[in-house]
């Protein structure tokens, strides 16, 4: 399984009729397979409070947790790439530590490599 290539961006819009806030996570480019628009990754609604016609729109506000979630989702391709780079760096350090006889430090690095590898596998659907 391969994810949609990054970068991904967040687009925020607010509904003047309902007061709800909508977030779209999408590619920052138009992919070759449909070059007429970006690929949409996910949509989320983040308005706080139920809509009541008598309530002023300014009484509604965006949900900071939803906004944080979509920001994290949009960063996923870069996070995955950084984890892969860090795993390669740690593998190199682990080998050097073992050669120098620093077995405790090598084991700690090895534990981190296993953790990072598991997270990468989860992100890649393995």
Per-residue pLDDT tens over the stretch 22-35: 888 999 888 888 78
Rounded to the nearest angstrom, the gap between the alpha carbon of residue 24 and the centroid of all alpha carbons in its chain is 13
Indicate the helix (H) or strand (E) that contains 22.
strand 21-27
Residue 22 has which token pair? 């909508």
pLDDT tens per residue across span 64-94: 777 888 889 999 999 999 999 998 988 888 8
pLDDT tens per residue across span 52-61: 666 555 555 5
């Amino acid at each position: 399984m391969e994810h949609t290539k990054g970068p991904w961006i967040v687009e925020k819009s607010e509904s003047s009729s309902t007061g709800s806030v909508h977030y779209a996570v999408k590619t920052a480019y138009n992919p070759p397979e449909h070059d007429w628009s970006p690929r949409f990754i996910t949509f989320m609604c983040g308005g706080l409070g139920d809509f009541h016609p008598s309530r002023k729109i300014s009484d509604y506000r965006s949900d900071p947790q939803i906004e944080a979630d979509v920001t994290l989702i949009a960063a996923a391709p870069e996070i995955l790439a950084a984890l892969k780079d860090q795993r390669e760096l740690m593998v190199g350090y682990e080998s050097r530590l073992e050669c120098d006889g620093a077995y405790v430090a090598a084991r700690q690095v090895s534990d981190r490599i296993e953790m990072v590898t598991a997270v990468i596998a989860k992100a890649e659907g393995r």
